[in-house]
Structure 1
């Protein structure tokens, strides 16, 4: 995390993002119509290679090494400790799929895509580092188990839950936390700008992790006080972020387990990308614990990617597969499914706020 002044990330409107995705989907659909289907199947099958190449590029910090200008493969290999010939061949393949560029003299340089992999970039390398990691790839290799049983392939492969694995491998857990924090950074300006926070006095961010979202909301709304609720180890990192945003004095930290109880004392509770990690039964437990902590008419705010059938946005279906295969039988849900869970837990869904980008905030009140 940088010690410099915070600069909010660019925040394209939802219409702009969806329009770009719709145009991209339309172009790909036309290309699919004129491409032999056998070749399309081969390309889909080889997609795992893309994942692993981008993963290795992120892990070796190649974009950072190229930040000051193009380098040839031997120099890149010297700086990263890689095998020169193997690295050149991988870079050549990455250039072909639009990640990095190659100069006429054979040197490799950054392009608009590879720059996202720099450590100080908005996206950063943590997301491809997580998705391409061997422990994650091993779970996906057992997708058939999940499809046949409905049970987590990750738990079958590793003999423990996703979260239990990180307790035994904290370095991998730190990479995952950083990846999720970078994603939250994209959503923070849109969430913080919602008018609902003008009517809230104290906000509890449930399982708020790094504190990225709560810090952004508190910075935007000086009248607000905050409560960050998470496991003790995560709260320490969050303190530094809240201090950096000059909002630490307005936030309290409470540790605990949301399956057991959620602290009372706030008039609004926030769940960002939490429910999708869990099946309906455990999601209901979280929601009911929120309800027990709340007074009637207090607000519950849920940020999730909603499942739709729009062809312009297949990513939500891929993430749904991730929740099913890797997490504890989690799932991305439709608005109707979330409304049903909220109703059963004692909430009324009042408003649905589409956010810039692709996430949605659902605002409910306690009955």
Structure 2
């Protein structure tokens, strides 16, 4: 059965979100000032254990199993094929960390944190499945290579770029694509609500993946038409998603490689979390191909988390390290660095629009 029109989830204002994150960061720093520094370092060192436990919980779909009520570790082990003793110990540790809840009778239940790991939830299990995967963890285990050489540890470990690896292992690529779609789902309402989309008639989402973002934009703006540009396997998934959103009739699906060319015919071009995957040279190639497809004064819209001197939350700096360690010598950038990239590719920056959450929309104009 076709679904009804897409209704984006509510998104608190940027000030509210950043205030909450700033308060959380301040409280953590306050705790650190009264905690022995040795203990703080131990906790940072143990973070890899947290990642792997959340990864396994997501992969086993434990939150799905608990959605209808509490279960014992033995019951969960029967359902998942896990070792009951180790599963109980893992869940006990996670409950102590605030993920899942351990009841007085010893059974485990979902709480507000673990419910994020349910299939279909905002966020969902794919993100921890990807970040805790062995192929991703192996790259981070060789961080020293990246620090010493400035080159991707992922390519050093696997002998292939991040993207080539997924072509060889499409089952891993599927998990990654789902993780990125769920991450985009968090930002989509804020991006789609931008008044810029009222001023254009056709938008091209470059490397738009599953169509999560373009679908939200088209659903919010009835006058808009879209072009979803990506590689063929991703377009197959996108077609079904756009059909579910009842916007497929207003969208062209175009396959290609953004290092070669970008489709013409739109009056705005959108790049969300694309350029941070690549170094400056390859990012400039992508931008110049966009410029060749555009007419003067048409819009280029870049959505990314910007590096600042005082970020309210460490995620942006951690993602910056993810980009260089795992992706193709990519990086998070400051607004000034984006301005330089755009200028080199034939664009001027009109304005940087802060969005709810941690992302910003950089509005560029083709010269």
The alignment's TM-score, normalised by the length of structure 1, stands at: 0.98
Write out aligned runs for 1:80-229 (5 A).
80-229=80-229
CA contact (8 A) 2:5 2:246 kept: no
Task: Note the alpha carbon deviations across 1:27-61, whole angstroms, 9 max, x for none.
Answer: 11110000000111111011000000000000000
CA contact (8 A) 1:66 1:110 kept: yes
SS in 2 for 1:51: helix
- Offset at 1:4? 6.8
Task: Note the alpha carbon deviations across 1:228-253, whole angstroms, 9 max, x for none.
Answer: 11111111111111111111111111
The answer on 1:354 being equivalent to 2:354 is: yes
- Offset at 1:357? 1.1
Find the aligned partners of 1:332 and 1:72 in 2 and give their Cα distance: 43
Task: Note the alpha carbon deviations across 1:311-335, whole angstroms, 9 max, x for none.
Answer: 5211000000000100000000000
Match of 2:282 in 1: 282
SS in 1 for 2:105: coil
CA contact (8 A) 1:24 1:312 kept: no
- 5+ long unaligned stretches in structure 1: none
Match of 1:41 in 2: 41
- Offset at 1:263? 1.1
CA contact (8 A) 1:70 1:108 kept: yes
CA contact (8 A) 1:277 1:323 kept: yes
Find the aligned partners of 1:276 and 1:235 in 2 and give their Cα distance: 22
- Offset at 1:120? 1.9
- Offset at 1:201? 0.9
The answer on 1:246 being equivalent to 2:246 is: yes
Match of 1:9 in 2: 9
Which segment drifts farther, 274-283 or 307-316? 307-316
- 5+ long unaligned stretches in structure 2: none
Task: Note the alpha carbon deviations across 1:202-243, whole angstroms, 9 max, x for none.
Answer: 100000000111111111111111111111111111111111
Find the aligned partners of 1:158 and 1:7 in 2 and give their Cα distance: 41
Moved over 4 A (4+): 2-5
Find the aligned partners of 2:315 and 2:229 in 1 and give their Cα distance: 29
Task: Note the alpha carbon deviations across 1:101-124, whole angstroms, 9 max, x for none.
Answer: 011001000000000000021110
Task: Note the alpha carbon deviations across 1:322-365, whole angstroms, 9 max, x for none.
Answer: 00100000000000000000001000000111111111000010
Give the direction of change, closer, same or farther, for the CA distance of 1:166–1:212 in structure 2 (3 Å limit): same
The alignment's TM-score, normalised by the length of structure 2, stands at: 0.98
CA contact (8 A) 2:6 2:219 kept: no
SS in 1 for 2:352: strand
CA contact (8 A) 1:307 1:333 kept: yes
CA contact (8 A) 1:201 1:225 kept: yes
Write out aligned runs for 1:23-34 (5 A).
23-34=23-34
Number of residue pairs matched? 366
SS in 2 for 1:226: strand
What's the C-alpha RMSD, in Å, of the aligned pairs?
A: 1.0
SS in 2 for 1:82: coil
- Offset at 1:6? 3.7
